[in-house]
Amino acid sequence: MFFVACLGLIIWKLDQSKRKTSTILIYTLKLFSFYILLLKTIAPIPLFQAFVTTLYCEEDDPYHEELECYSGSHLIHVIVASVGIAIAFIYGLMTSLFCIDINPASTLPYAAPLSKMGVLKFFGKLILVIYITIDYKVELIFLEK
């Protein structure tokens, strides 16, 4: 949230400025662009892994050895994980939809035309994390010989 507020302040300052933009502002925007790129590509998997692992609790799983499922302090973890997964889901969906470079002549390596492929990749990461968390013993075998 802090980074989004800073980005809004920088964009407002650029809009209010009638003179040439400074180098510091340009590099700050590039830094925020890199930050959003990391949040869009790398961050969803560990974030959702932590949240889904907290929400899915069994007595014999390796993640909750010292906690009793859905009682005591685990309920606080469940509430925080629920809020966190909602925020991460909304933020991930927004960055998948809106943070894309549409300029075809761009020199950036992640430039692409506007499509829904980012949303499909986001849901693919989410499904992968849910599957790995639920099937930590590798008991669900879909392809048998």
Task: With cut-offs at 50, 70 and 90, classify the pLDDT of residue 82.
Answer: very high
Distance CA 71, CA 83 (A): 18
* Domain shared by 77 and 7, yes or no: no
Task: With cut-offs at 50, 70 and 90, classify the pLDDT of residue 114.
Answer: low
Distance CA 94, CA 108 (A): 20
pLDDT of residue 69: 82
* Domain shared by 11 and 72, yes or no: no
Which helix (H) or strand (E) is 74 found in, with range?
helix 73-98
Q: Which residue has the higher pLDDT, 59 or 89?
A: 89
Q: Is the pLDDT of residue 42 over 70?
A: yes
* Domain shared by 36 and 104, yes or no: no
Q: What does pTM read for this prediction?
A: 0.66
Burial class (CB in 10 A: 0-12, 13-18, 19+), 76: exposed
Q: Is the pLDDT of residue 89 over 80?
A: yes
Distance CA 136, CA 145 (A): 21
**pLDDT averaged over the chain?**
75
Q: What is the rounded average pLDDT of the residues 34-62? A: 82
Task: With cut-offs at 50, 70 and 90, classify the pLDDT of residue 81.
Answer: very high
Q: What percent of the chain has pLDDT over 90?
A: 6
Contact (CB, 8 A) for 36 and 110? no
Q: What are phi and psi of 106, to 5 degrees?
A: -70, 150
* Domain shared by 5 and 59, yes or no: no
* Domain shared by 8 and 77, yes or no: no
Residue-number span of the structural domain to which 82 is assigned: 43-145
